[in-house]
Chains A and B, each alone.
Chain A
Amino acid sequence: MEFETVIGLEIHLELQTRSKLFCSCSTAFGREPNTSCCPVCLGLPGSLPVLNRKAVELAIIAALSLQSEIQKESRFDRKNYYYPDLPKAYQISQYDRPLALGGFIEMKNEGVKRKINLERIHIEEDPGKLMHSGESIFDSDYSLVDYNRAGIPLLEIVTKPDLRSGREARLFLEELRCILLYSGSSDCRMEQGSLRCDANISLRPAGSKTLGTRTEVKNMNSFRAVEMALDYEAGRQAAILSAGGSIIQQTCHWDEGDRKAIPLRGKEGSSDYRYFPEPDLLPLILKSDYIETLAASLPELPSQRRIRLMEEYGLDPADAAILTENRSLGDLFEVAAGEYKDYRNLARWVRGDLLYLLKGNDRNPSEVAPSLLIELLTMLDEGEINRPVAKDLLANIVKNGTNPRELVQQKGLGRIADREKLQPVVEKVLAENKDAVDSIKQGRKKAFAFLVGKVMAATAGRADPEKVQKLLRELIN
């Protein structure tokens, strides 16, 4: 039987604020354990939460950039459960009145246009972080807890079950990250835990409209892991269903090392969180003009930029995609394009040699001065230097920020076009390669290119290739 995979994601991402959601403790990553804490985020008796305005602002910006509808009135609720990483024994979250409803991301999967719908977006606080001496809290001699994370503002995004494969889930997450990076609401660093993803996955006979029994997959720590884990779980479910078995609703942990989704023991998922409205906070009421102001200040989103790069600069879709995906690379391109008008040439250099050099040298596009890039390309266009020299000069720009014109003058790297200078070199090459000259006379064109190469090598790539060809022809005949 043919199955269709149905996947919905629950994504948690850290909002890029300087202080926590309900207190003024720092959110900086990598501090000594339990040094970024206060009575509020430790849940000490008598402490009260105060909502971080910036967190709300970033959450709204993120929701707007995902086309989600901001609710004029939303509410905070307590999600009650006992765990040592949860200082108050409840997490302040949003339950039945979330910040935003709906929304979508449009993307392409293997050339097919896909629209993935969102269910809801809400704000909540992160619990602390537990480290066990053993495998889990139950088979450890001791566990340590760090409350630096407790109270970090999170945005939870829940998709509708619109994704159809592990690969599609990965593409969705990549597009989501791109959008949120553009909006400036989160830095989306999965390895620092600022973007986390859980998935619900089920199978159904192709063409069916009803949903099958789902399992939940957790602990996927990279986009690649999401793809692998979901494909693994889809395969596991397909095998069971094909053999006439049925799926048990359960939660699995993705084991990166063994590449397996391992079912968790116990009846997780059946917990009753006893949600009720958080009495220590007022309802979150947002005025229309506040939302409109934020909407108006929304930076251009990746999908818009991609189209604009094609329309405004005449770039092809592949170039536009690369310059969009890497936001600061796109910014460098656009600043340079302000003065350098051969856009397609500029794009080729930026997304080709420059991007390669940046990656190789672990540099950021923002570290490259656009003026140096313009200078370089102008020198190339005007025949002052040759292409191989230009590549060396570009490497110098990336590594040392060297001005290409100065370097050319200093090291004498300019193009050699003078007949007086070239002729002796050409004559010498001809004298040393009599066989090739004979070949050419017999009509073998390859040999001609060989000779051009020899002359270029003899001038360290600086000779004007056209002049060299002209001279060669003259002297051979």
Chain B
Amino acid sequence: MELYQKTAAELSRLLQDKEITAVEVFNSFTERIDEVDPHLKVFITCTLDSALETAAAVDRRRMENEELHPLAGVPVAIKDNFCTEGIKTTCASKMLESYIPPYDAAVVEKLKRIGMPILGKTNMDEFAMGSSTENSAFFVTRNPWDLERVPGGSSGGSAAAVAAGMVPLALGSDTGGSIRQPAALCGITGLRPTYGRVSRYGLIAFASSLDQIGPLALNALDCSLLLEVIAGYDQRDSTSLPHEVPQYSAAAGRELEGVRIGLIEENISANFDPEIKFAVLKMAALLEENGARITEVSLPHTDYGLSAYYLIAPSEAASNLGRYDGVRYGYSADGDNIISLFSRTRGQGFGAEVKRRIMIGTYSLSAGYYDAYYLQAMKVRTLIRRDYEKAFQNFDILVGATTPTPAFKLGEKADDPLKMYLSDVCNITDALAGVPSLSIPAGLHSSGLPMGMQLTAAPLNEGLLFQAAAVLEKCSDSPPQQRTALNLTGRGEL
């Protein structure tokens, strides 16, 4: 087995035992990148030079018996909406095509501090708006399981990178499913943590009240290890939570005896792919076999979630993206006066989906419409939050499908925004409620594509999600590597 096929936990063990060096790990993954990235198109920017320096430094320090973090020397990729000092950060937009931030995002600081080599910045939907990574201004990223299909989005680059063994770990951001949906479509594990669990400082904002950073990895244990690194209070983010960070990785291995699990009726809906419904029910049965108690539960306001989300997120986005006006940084068009500078810069610098959302958001916040749209959507958000509060009085974990269908074809939904929006239908309400939500692999569809199951817990109960996921992984007959695209042959160029 190649090093690039190993999980982060396995690499960490081998590195700590000095069986392998960080540079060897680096070499294995970069060779893999050279091999598959031309087909998948994951990276907007590769930062291999600085990553190699980091790996070499880790090896040096380990030789000197310095105490290192378990993930020191384990490579990681980050979505291109995290600010990186001195390194281009584009949000996959023409607007920021050559923008170089003067500072590191809080999570990037943390990765650097413990010596995780950052291999590069991954492709995404422009400003994280989209569900297929097709909205990147630069190129589309392909799904490693089928090169004719999308990897999901908006963190499609990060998900594809992990699924194809280009990195063992990646960071994404999730505003309304942007970690969990691509994780499901690429057959890996991805967590949207509790809102406020991870500092947003340096994450280029899409919708501030919904944006949250999370890990993508081959399994729950790897996700928990990376979450331990990035979680925690940051005084630079006023919405970050002051609660202490537990040892999430210790949750794997705990029993499920007595854990109350609610099967969300709305997330195994009749119009979902029947195989996905079946896969979720099968996994629920596995949880029951392991001591959990399963009951169906309804989140009655789920139907309004998508509409509320597509008012709140664009409203905040319209405001957050106002700063891209061509005056200080980023793309700047020629203008005869200040008005034409503004309108040409924004007209030329943003792609169609971003403009669509800016227009929706601007409309929804305008005088005379505010009450009917933004305010109404905020009221729905409160109702949805209450749905969850009520459900968590009786349940510890809520489960359902991550997506209604497996990965769709490139271009299939690109011209139909409403259809595209529906692919996030299961991911939106927990984002609106701010609760943690994990997508894990749920086996393969008859089409050969991966499916995902989503597990949701009450705020700050990420540990419980890892615990349930680990139990399910143990029941599965194949190691995580086999459930990914790593060993696939005869499928496209891979």
Task: Flag whether B208 is at the interface (Cβ < 8 A).
Answer: yes
In whole angstroms, what is the CA distance A39 to B367 when docked?
31
A51 contacts B238, CB within 8 Å?
A: yes
**5 cross-chain CB contacts under 8 A:** A44-B102, A48-B200, A51-B238, A276-B370, A279-B208
Task: Flag whether A205 is at the interface (Cβ < 8 A).
Answer: no
Task: Flag whether B209 is at the interface (Cβ < 8 A).
Answer: yes
The segment from B317-325, B389-397, B435-443 that touches chain A is: B317-325
Task: Flag whether B236 is at the interface (Cβ < 8 A).
Answer: yes
Which residue in A45, A78, A275, A282 is a CB contact (below 8 Å) of B101? A45
- Give chain A interface residues in 76-124, CB to chain B under 8 Å: 78, 80, 82, 84, 87-90
Interface residues of B (CB under 8 A from A): 82-83, 89, 91, 96, 99, 101-103, 105, 200-205, 207-209, 235-239, 315-316, 318-319, 322-323, 325, 327-329, 337-338, 342, 362, 365-367, 370, 374
* Smallest CB gap from B105: residue in A: A46
- Closest 5 pairs between A and B when the two form their complex, measured CB to CB: A89-B322, A279-B209, A274-B365, A279-B208, A46-B202
B96 contacts A45, CB within 8 Å?
A: yes
Which residue in B204, B209, B327 is a CB contact (below 8 Å) of A45? B204
In whole angstroms, what is the CA distance A50 to B201 when docked?
11
* Smallest CB gap from A81: residue in B: B322
A82 contacts B325, CB within 8 Å?
A: yes
Task: Flag whether A256 is at the interface (Cβ < 8 A).
Answer: no
A39 contacts B103, CB within 8 Å?
A: yes
Which residue in A84, A89, A137, A282 is a CB contact (below 8 Å) of B239? A282
Q: Which residues of B contact A80 (CB under 8 A)?
A: 318-319, 322, 365
Q: Which residues of A contact B200 (CB under 8 A)?
A: 48
Which residue in B83, B209, B342, B370 is a CB contact (below 8 Å) of A46? B83
Q: Which residues of B contact A274 (CB under 8 A)?
A: 318-319, 362, 365-367, 370
Residue of A44, A138, A275, A281 with most chain B CB atoms under a 10 A cut-off: A44
A43 contacts B202, CB within 8 Å?
A: no
In whole angstroms, what is the CA distance A191 to B318 when docked?
37
A307 to chain B, nearest CB (A): 43
B79 to chain A, nearest CB (A): 12
Interface residues of B, dominant DSSP: loop
In whole angstroms, what is the CA distance A87 to B89 when docked?
19
In whole angstroms, what is the CA distance A48 to B367 when docked?
26
Task: Flag whether A272 is at the interface (Cβ < 8 A).
Answer: yes
Task: Flag whether A47 is at the interface (Cβ < 8 A).
Answer: yes
Scan A37-73; emit 1 where CB is below 8 A from any B CB, else 0.
0010011111111110000000000000000000000
A44 contacts B329, CB within 8 Å?
A: yes
Scan A263-286; emit 1 where CB is below 8 A from any B CB, else 0.
000000000101110011110000
- Knowing A39-B102, A46-B201, A46-B205 are in contact, say whether A276-B365 is a contact too (CB < 8 A): yes
A90 contacts B322, CB within 8 Å?
A: yes
A45-B204, A46-B204 are known; give 6 further A-B pairs, CB within 8 A.
A48-B237, A137-B338, A138-B337, A274-B362, A276-B316, A279-B316
A251 to chain B, nearest CB (A): 19
Which residue in B83, B318, B366 is a CB contact (below 8 Å) of A272? B366
* Smallest CB gap from A143: residue in B: B338
- Knowing A44-B102, A46-B101, A276-B315 are in contact, say whether A88-B366 is a contact too (CB < 8 A): no
A280 contacts B204, CB within 8 Å?
A: no
B323 contacts A87, CB within 8 Å?
A: yes
Q: Which residues of A contact B203 (CB under 8 A)?
A: 46
Q: Which residues of A contact B204 (CB under 8 A)?
A: 45-46
Q: Which residues of B contact A44 (CB under 8 A)?
A: 83, 101-103, 329
In whole angstroms, what is the CA distance A88 to B318 when docked?
11
Q: Which residues of A contact B322 (CB under 8 A)?
A: 80, 82, 88-90
- Knowing A45-B323, A48-B201, A80-B322 are in contact, say whether A272-B238 is a contact too (CB < 8 A): no
Q: Which residues of B contact A43 (CB under 8 A)?
A: 323, 328
* Smallest CB gap from B234: residue in A: A48
Q: Which residues of B contact A49 (CB under 8 A)?
A: 238
In whole angstroms, what is the CA distance A90 to B328 when docked?
15
Q: Which residues of A contact B316 (CB under 8 A)?
A: 276, 279
* Smallest CB gap from B83: residue in A: A46
Q: Which residues of A contact B201 (CB under 8 A)?
A: 46-48
A20 to chain B, nearest CB (A): 14
In whole angstroms, what is the CA distance A325 to B410 when docked?
75
- Give chain A interface residues in 389-416, CB to chain B under 8 Å: none
B342 contacts A82, CB within 8 Å?
A: yes
A151 to chain B, nearest CB (A): 14
